[in-house]
Amino acid sequence: MSENKMNRRSFLQASTVLGVGSVVGASALLASCKDGNALVPLKNPGEFYVPELPDMAIDGRELKVGVIGCGGRGSGAVKDLLAAANNIKVVALGDVFADRMGGLQRDLNKNHGQNIPDDKCFLGFEAYKQVVDAGVDMVILATPPAFRPVHFQYATQKGKHSFMEKPIAVDAKGYRTIMASAKQAQAKNLSVVTGTQRHHERRYVEANKQIQAGLIGEITGGNVYWNQSMLWYRNRQQEWSDMEWMIRDWVNWTWLSGDHIVEQHVHNIDVFLWMSGYKVAKATGFGSRQRRVTGDQYDNFSIDFEMENGVHLHSMCRQIDGCSNAVGEIIYGTKGVYSSFDNTIKDLKGNVLWKYDDEAAKAEFKQHNPYVLEHVDWVNHIRKGTMHDEATECAISSLAGVMGRESAYTGRTITWDEMSKSDMDLMPAKLELGDMDMESYKVAVPGKTR
């Protein structure tokens, strides 16, 4: 959601008040007389967010950034930020593991000319507070997702701009924390970007413009996929405590990652919700654990999402070796079909109505990496002082993923109202690198798990 986004209804109200409604209505009527196939926009330009995606962010005052979570994604994100904008200074790091933090500290020093002194490298579960309070303007939140809500809450309280890696919630409590903090961030004019980078990927942004212009008509359904080979895991090492093992192996534990339907597949669910503007009402699905090695997660899900207006979205995701792989989205409309697999929109006879023009884009821009472009947009909002909120949309998509997961885990249909109000809170009571009640982490059994 952003400052210039206006929903369809409020636009209609406003335009009616202005007396514009009748003019617009009349011209639409005239247009349809001339041409029976005139496009009816889902949203008019200005009613939906279109990021400006120059190769680099605008220049401006120095921005100080802190990184919370120095693993693969945190390290990647800070380097993407440095590629996206000039005059960025990394001033503080935080992590629970000295080796991961030390690695990033040395890398930034050696390869990026960023010298972070040892006393600005904070260790432990409370390190996020020290990073936020270390004089930063902005923070990259890239720990395992379970911790995201409290980190965002704190950063927002302290008036910092956040970049949050997705997903941003793994349970209902986290969802609510994000939603409330997002409202506070809006009030404080903060810029918040989330790692659902398709929102900053040129081919998706262009496709969305076509869809909103009405090229596929009213949206009637969708299929979204993230089927891939097995993801990484870490075997336990002798010197590791239960907690240390879990966090180092986090993509295999539901309380940390949300399971792969939330952790990874949220991207694709999010694309459908983003482009359709529909709200999820119910999820019914199944999944299982076939060949995952560690943790308590499943490795495949198949979910039927029902929207408030009755439209269905089918979602499937898998992390198993030796199977057919596919990652992408298909959206059906009354007049055509959009596919992100070949970046086309076809009419219902299969004729190509639109195709993303890769060559033209390459001629116009140098930077095409969405992981960099999302930081360009983030910094631009900060430097221009314009409020930007992606947290609300990403929290809703994350909770939709959680609904899918819970419907598969329990074997029941899960409603949005039930999920969003649920007291589900997966965070352990005690956060320390010590023993955990490992017996309580069991693989869910549909029909039995509640």
Partner 1 sequence: MSEKKKNKKLIFLGALAIVVAGFSLIIAFNWAWDKSSLNDSCMSCHYHTDADINWKQSVHYNSQSGTKTDCAACHLPPRGTMDYTKAKLSAGVKDVWSYLTKDKEDINWDAKGELEYARKIVYNESCEACHVNIYPEGISDEGVTAHLYYDDNKASGDQHCINCHLDAGHYNPNYKHAALTEAPKGSGVVYEAAAEVTSFENYVETVPGTSAAISMIAIPGGEFEMGSPESEPFHEADEAPQRRVEVSRFFMGEMEVTWDQFWAFYGETMSEGRTPPMVIYANNSREDVDAVSGPTPPFGFPDQGWGMGDRPAITMTHYSAETFCQWLSLKTGKKYRLPTEAEWEYAARGGTTGAYFFEGKPKKYSNEGFWNGLFGADTAYINSYAIYVNNSQSRTQEPSLVQANPFGLKNMLGNVMEYCSDWYAEDAYSQLSDGAKDPKGPEFGTEHVVRGGNYTSDAAELRCAARSHTQHDEWLRTDPQNPKSIWWYSDIKGIGFRVVCEVPEGI
- Please select the residue that binds partner 1; options are 102, 415, 431, 449, rule is CB under 8 A: 415
Binding piece for partner 1, criterion CB under 8 A, among 102-110, 116-124, 180-188, 218-226: 180-188
Is 420 near partner 1 (CB under 8 A)?
Answer: yes
Closest distance of CB 407 from partner 1, Å: 15
Looking at the Cβ atoms of 181 and 264, the one nearer to partner 1 is 181
- Please select the residue that binds partner 1; options are 183, 312, 368, 383, rule is CB under 8 A: 183
- Please select the residue that binds partner 1; options are 106, 289, 384, 421, rule is CB under 8 A: 421
CA nearest 298: which of 197, 398, 401? 401
User: What does the alpha-carbon distance between residue 173 and residue 256 come to, in Å, rounded to a whole number?
Assistant: 14
Closest distance of CB 5 from partner 1, Å: 16
Q: Which of residues 152-171 bind partner 1 (CB under 8 A)?
A: 157
Residue 224 and residue 273 in contact, taking contact as beta carbons nearer than 8 Å: no
Identify the bridge partners of residue 95 per DSSP, sorted by sequence position.
Answer: 123
Is 449 near partner 1 (CB under 8 A)?
Answer: no
CA nearest 409: which of 280, 262, 278? 262
Q: HSE of 161 in the Cβ direction (CA atoms, 13 Å)?
A: 24
Binding piece for partner 1, criterion CB under 8 A, among 29-37, 176-184, 336-344, 369-377: 176-184
Looking at the Cβ atoms of 175 and 338, the one nearer to partner 1 is 175
Closest distance of CB 150 from partner 1, Å: 12
Closest distance of CB 258 from partner 1, Å: 19
74: how many CB neighbours lie within 10 A of its CB?
23
Is 417 near partner 1 (CB under 8 A)?
Answer: yes
Closest distance of CB 399 from partner 1, Å: 10
Is 234 near partner 1 (CB under 8 A)?
Answer: no
Is 177 near partner 1 (CB under 8 A)?
Answer: yes
CA nearest 354: which of 257, 223, 179, 210? 210
CA nearest 313: which of 349, 277, 288? 277
User: What does the alpha-carbon distance between residue 134 and residue 183 come to, in Å, rounded to a whole number?
Assistant: 24
Closest distance of CB 418 from partner 1, Å: 4
284: how many CB neighbours lie within 10 A of its CB?
17
C-alpha angle 385-272-348 in degrees, rounded to nearest 5 = 130
- Please select the residue that binds partner 1; options are 6, 24, 123, 179, rule is CB under 8 A: 179
Closest distance of CB 182 from partner 1, Å: 8
Tell me what percent of the chain is helix, strand and coil, each rounded to the nearest 5.
Answer: 40, 20, 40
Looking at the Cβ atoms of 417 and 435, the one nearer to partner 1 is 417
Q: How far is CA 195 from the centre of its chain?
A: 5
User: Pattern 116-155, binding to partner 1, x per CB under 8 A?
Assistant: ----------------------------------------
Is 187 near partner 1 (CB under 8 A)?
Answer: yes
Q: How far is the CA of 297 from the CAs of 280, 292, 395, 406, 408, in angstroms?
A: 23, 8, 21, 12, 11
User: What does the alpha-carbon distance between residue 271 and residue 196 come to, in Å, rounded to a whole number?
Assistant: 9
Closest distance of CB 346 from partner 1, Å: 35
Looking at the Cβ atoms of 53 and 391, the one nearer to partner 1 is 391
User: What does the alpha-carbon distance between residue 411 and residue 29 come to, in Å, rounded to a whole number?
Assistant: 49
Tell me which residue has tokens 């495949």: 300
Residue 93 and residue 105 in contact, taking contact as beta carbons nearer than 8 Å: yes
- Please select the residue that binds partner 1; options are 423, 437, 442, 447, rule is CB under 8 A: 423
Closest distance of CB 166 from partner 1, Å: 20
What SS3 state is found at 91?
strand
Is 302 near partner 1 (CB under 8 A)?
Answer: no
Closest distance of CB 180 from partner 1, Å: 4
Residue 199 and residue 176 in contact, taking contact as beta carbons nearer than 8 Å: no
Binding piece for partner 1, criterion CB under 8 A, among 92-100, 269-277, 294-302, 419-427: 419-427
Binding residues for partner 1, rule CB under 8 A, total 18
Question: Contact positions toward partner 1, by CB under 8 A?
Answer: 157, 173, 176-177, 179-181, 183-184, 186-187, 415-418, 420-421, 423
